[in-house]
Amino acid sequence: MEVYVSKPFGPGIAKVKIPEKILNQLNDYVEKIILDKEKKNKLDHGNNLVGDVTQELLIEKNIAKEIGWLDFLGQATYHYILSHTQKKIKEFNLIGTWVVRQFQNEYNPIHWHGGHISGAGFLKVPSSFGDHLQDKPNKFYQGGNLSLVHGSKMFLSDPVFNILPEVGDFVLFPNYLMHTVYPFKNSKEERRSVSFNAFIDKDIYDVYS
């Protein structure tokens, strides 16, 4: 597994690629849920999450294990922590993993997660997120991007790190790192992401112990 760790500000983050087989199985799983009204209602997690989006669907833990998603998350977290701290985790306890289905004008407000380690990746991405209403050739359009936020604006230290979604990309970060997804302007296509929360070894996470 290739894990790229970077530290654009404060907390280090990591980027990995979701294996194509797992990515396809996750998308197939979501498509089946969409067509199954009973299951869709059972797995709808929207009331417990902050996003104002079409759907937020829990991934059943037995499915996550069966398709290799659980193992992928554990391995990605292991290499992320090892690369950043030179310490090997012995524990990886998944709290939950879920899919976010987001369409035009929907958004995820700035928030953070529980547990110790979190992550977000991309299963489907629109061909275009849109553009600025005004002519701004030198300004980066943030609609549909994953924006990580930490600290405040200082010399040589930006408080925001924007990630343009690409199918298969998966980003890991500490649970407390604030993040948001702004609305985008493509009316027909879905932005589909997948996230997780997990606990790792307390003595590695708790740097004050």
DSSP for 165-195, written as a single string = --TTEEEEEETT-EEEEB----SS--EEEEE
Q: What tens digit of pLDDT does each residue of 106-139 get?
A: 989 999 999 999 999 999 999 988 776 677 666 7
In the 8-state DSSP scheme, what is residue 47?
G
Of residues 77 and 52, the one with the higher pLDDT is 77
Judge if pTM exceeds 0.95. no
CA-based torsion, 22, 64, 116, 58: positive or negative? positive
Residue 7 has pLDDT above 80, yes or no: no
pLDDT confidence of residue 205: 94
Count of Cβ atoms closer than 10 Å to residue 23 Cβ: 22
pLDDT one-digit tens code per residue, 143-188: 889 999 998 888 877 888 899 999 999 999 999 999 999 999 877 8
Task: Tell which residue, 169, 183, 177, has the closest CA to residue 118.
Answer: 177
CB–CB of 116/175 below 8 Å?
Answer: yes
Q: Is 9-203 assigned to CATH 3.40.640.10?
A: no
Distance separating alpha carbons of residues 174 and 194, to the nearest angstrom: 16
| Distance in angstroms (rounded) separating the CA atoms of residues 17 and 171 | 9
How large is the greatest C-alpha to C-alpha distance in the chain, in angstroms?
53
Average pLDDT over the chain reads 90
Per residue, what are the HEC states of 101-140? EECCCCEEEEECCCCCEEEEEEEECCCCCCCCCCCCCCCC
- Residue 30 has what pLDDT? 96
What amino acid occupies position 201? D
